[in-house]
Structure 1
């Protein structure tokens, strides 16, 4: 069991962190506790968000009772600063100059001067080669095709928390400006029967591939000595990687046909997200009916593609219901999942999707709604069970290809990182319209780029599973319903109990340095 300790002043961050933990270890294995329990709990793992001096003393008392792991997030009390051997320093001047990125030029990327660099010490978690800017863009100031969120210097709980440095032998990651280390970002302190992992951010790395380090710490770090917690991976059992792609039909649907044919020729599932104003023209009905008969994925992209789902819960509910109704009228099939217009996913829109009967939503973008930019797909904070989210911030557009070097270098790097960190990789494009071609000079060039990326994926990871969007989200929904139950001497796996959470794919379980197929019953020791 993982227990989360957070004061009421950190309630919003606590909700986001608890949801992130549950997406990795199941809903039954992570809970929030009161401060009164923190010194006497029998849990072997605690996650604490900015504990004050009194809570810090209770945590140290708990650690003295036996083998345990502690994850600390954000600002630390003087007691914990001393316990971790941190030393205070000054904030670098003018945070905007080093934490923010300029917009990306066409055919190029842009990034902040400040970056997070993992050190050789992080090699214990397979993270020693990791680097990421605090902020980066691949399309204007909107998309980061490497998928992670922004580490701010001036926003609540998305920001760096305190200006400190850590001893070299304890530093897993540091913030560097123009290559010069200035702050500690992540540190590890092992002392006898305890291990402490600290991130200098109130929500830790919940919006980045770096969450994989947390999963490794929980599932396998010092197994046999300290408590470990089974993790449900985002890659189905028996596969090296998992990939899903789609086209978002913002202005046209029928023009998706050439790319659909190319994906059929490659033997890869094809998916469309449709905003239903397009359906006013019957010429767009044919391809949708063909896809429905073939069992291909069709998702809602709202009724009118309104920014922020129309700006209110009421507008979002209308957008969701009208879209589902019109798509069903054309295809004869109900719609299970939605794709947010512009990837904008404000909380009221997600609540409206729940109430409209959807099972999940795709979104995630570095520009806005940071709480939806999640490292792992699954259940979301403050929303009911049976509704999931998935971040797919990888936009394969002609104007996102690089003018210098390998045009697809960013997308290849994104897949490499997803493969390494056991992350379901989703990417998107848009059909051409009479008005706009998304930076592609012609369909032949676009199809060649898509084929080149698929070829790279198949060579890099021959065991890759290509999924339609519906199949990918069905798997994530089913994964969110798997439960890990801890007994005195072993863990038990319980499969989904609801019919709607069905997928023929089974999660991969990671525990004590091994991987297992998710099968109901006792987890092998």
Structure 2
């Protein structure tokens, strides 16, 4: 069991971190923690504890071998105990901000997070990332992580401090200068402490893999561990899903769809139903569905922020569902956010409209929907899930210099390394806009090259349509693991045939209903 300790001033970060932990270890193995119940837990995540809570945590760590994860600003007593040295904020915050990306180029903030040699023991070998990054104007980051701010928010660096060199796992650097520690590891007696200098920790980045490694594997021979449920179906080392968002056209998806069929790779369509204006689209969609293709809602009118209110989002979801059903006979179950904007009220509206989940995620806005792992969301009912798919494969995101596909290949390679379900997207051409592609031949060749790269890197990749991928994540979110006297007992969702994997104490193994992880 993981207890999450977050005082009232830090309740927003605490709720987001709790949801992120549950997306990794199951809902039943992560719970909010009352300070009075601290002695009953051996693994705790604490958000910006004050001095009193920190003293209690130190006593707790001294009692027996335990694991503690700290997110955010630390009080004076922990500064002293861990040897943290205060620094000054660098002037201005321009070092944390990225310029807009020109066409066929990427742009990054001057400041970067660089993982050091010691991080390799935590599964974070040679990692690095910008605080902010764009691959398309100031909207998309095709490497899929969120922004680390310097604005005092929960998404911000918490404090400019320097940890002792032997404890530092990652630091923030700019122009060759070390600005502050980002991740550090400390020892307290026979216990171990991992600290991230941000109130929400690593919940919006591939770096969350470090947290999973710490929980499931770190010093498993002597410290408590918690099983982590793999985001990949059992038996594969990569899972990939691809879709087209039909913003301005639908039937023009035919050439790319036919090519994907030849490759044996599913391609899904997200339908903006204002485009259902003539029978040519209807006929193509019926053919697509008859061939096993999967449709999703991309709203009724493609309004920014789902129309700006809960009521508008509810109406958009209901109208889109009905129009797709009328045109194709297909009852859609999942939605894709317009512009990838996914405000909380819109997700609530979709949930109440009967959808099972939503795909979105973009570095520009709604940071709480940039999810390192897909699954259930903070503040929303069980059974409704989200998945972030921020990798947008457009012609104007192909690099002008070097390998045009370098960013997309790097995005997949990181997903492969961190066992992350990889989703990417494109759009059908319209009379007005070709999304930076010179023609369909060039676009198809780029897609072919990316699929070839995926197949060359992964030993056993599994290509999934969007419904299959989301159904898997939804079933995964229904898994329950229970701590018993003999280990962790497993309860799997009924009626779901795909296999699940679990990481625990240095192993990756299949999950079986009723099995016990000792």
State how 1:113-512 maps to structure 2 within 5 Å: 113-497=110-494, 502=496, 504-512=497-505
Cα distance, 1:144 vs structure 2? 0.2
Unaligned runs of 5+ in 1: none
In the alignment, what sits opposite 2:24? 24
Distance in 2, matches of 1:276 and 1:312, equals: 19
Which of 41, 44, 60 lines up with 2:42 in the alignment?
44
Q: Distance in 2 between matches of 1:357 and 1:118?
A: 43
Corresponding residue SS for 2:502: strand
| Displacement of 1:126 | 2.4
Distance 1:150 1:482 in 2: 30
RMSD: 0.9
Distance 2:293 2:501 in 1: 25
Q: TM-score, normalised by structure 2?
A: 0.99
Q: Deviations over 1:391-441 (max 9, x none)?
A: 000000000000000000000000000000000000000000000000000
**Residues in 2 aligned to 1:83 and 1:263: alpha-carbon distance in whole angstroms:** 57
Structure 2 equivalent of residue 7 of structure 1: 7
Deviations along 1:144-165, whole A, 9 cap, x unmatched? 0000000000141000001100
TM-score between the two structures when normalised by the length of structure 1: 0.97
| Cα distance in 2 for residues equivalent to 1:434 and 1:414 | 30
CA contact (8 A) 2:119 2:170 kept: yes
Shift of 1:478: 0.3
1:39-92 per-residue CA deviation (whole Å, 9 max, x = no partner) reads: xx3211000000001111111121122110000000001111112221111111
Asked if the contact 2:62/2:189 (under 8 Å) is kept, the reply is: no
CA distance in structure 2 between the aligned counterparts of 1:276 and 1:445, rounded to whole angstroms: 28
- 1:490–1:522 CA contact under 8 A, matched in 2: no
Q: Aligned pair 1:522/2:511, yes or no? A: no
- Structure 1 distance, partners of 2:335, 2:176, is 41
Separation in structure 1 between the aligned mates of residue 62 and residue 486 of structure 2, nearest angstrom: 22
Distance 1:84 1:465 in 2: 44
For each residue in 1:328-379, what CA deviation from the matched residue of structure 2 results, as whole angstroms up to 9, or x when unmatched?
Answer: 1112121110000000000000000010000000000000000000100000
- Mapped to 1, the partners of 2:368 and 2:308 lie a distance apart of 17
**Is the CA contact 1:273–1:338 (under 8 Å) kept in the aligned structure 2?**
yes
User: CA separation in 1, counterparts of 2:192 and 2:283?
Assistant: 59
Structure 1 stretch displaced more, 282-291 or 20-29? 282-291
Determine if contact 2:412/2:422 at 8 Å carries over to the other structure.
yes
The 8 Å contact of residues 249 and 275 in structure 1, kept in 2 or not, is answered as yes
Structure 2 alignment gaps of length 5 or more: none
**How far did 1:523 drift?**
3.0
* Contact 1:242 1:425 (8 Å CA) reproduced: yes
Give the 3-state SS of the residue equivalent to 1:31 in structure 2. Answer: strand
Deviations 1:177-205 (A, max 9, x none): 12321100000012442000000000001
Q: How far off its partner does 1:524 sit?
A: 4.0
Tell me, in whole angstroms, the C-alpha distance in 1 between the residues paired with 2:284 and 2:243.
14
- CA distance in structure 2 between the partners assigned to 1:179 and 1:27 by the alignment: 42
Could you tell me how far apart the structure 2 residues matched to 1:155 and 1:362 are?
A: 28
**Equivalent residue of 1:384, what SS?**
coil
Tell whether the 8 Å contact from 1:345 to 1:369 is kept in structure 2 after alignment: yes
Task: Work out the CA distance in 1 between the residues paired with 2:294 and 2:65.
Answer: 48
Offset of residue 307 of structure 1: 0.5
The 2-side partners of 1:521 and 1:192 are apart by 36
Report how far residue 125 of structure 1 moved: 1.5
Partner Cα separation in structure 2 for residue 137 and residue 380 of structure 1: 25
Indicate yes or no: 2:95 matched with 1:98.
Answer: yes
Q: Secondary structure at the match of 1:441?
A: coil
1:234 offset after TM fit, Å? 0.6
The CA distance in 1 between the partners of 2:498 and 2:201, in whole Å, is 30
Residue 37 of structure 1 and its aligned partner are, at CA, apart by 2.4
Alpha-carbon distance, 1:240 to partner:
1.0
- Contact 1:193–1:225 (CA under 8 A) maintained in structure 2: no
- How far apart are the structure 2 equivalents of 1:405 and 1:176? 26
* Aligned mates of 1:523, 1:295 — CA distance in 2: 38
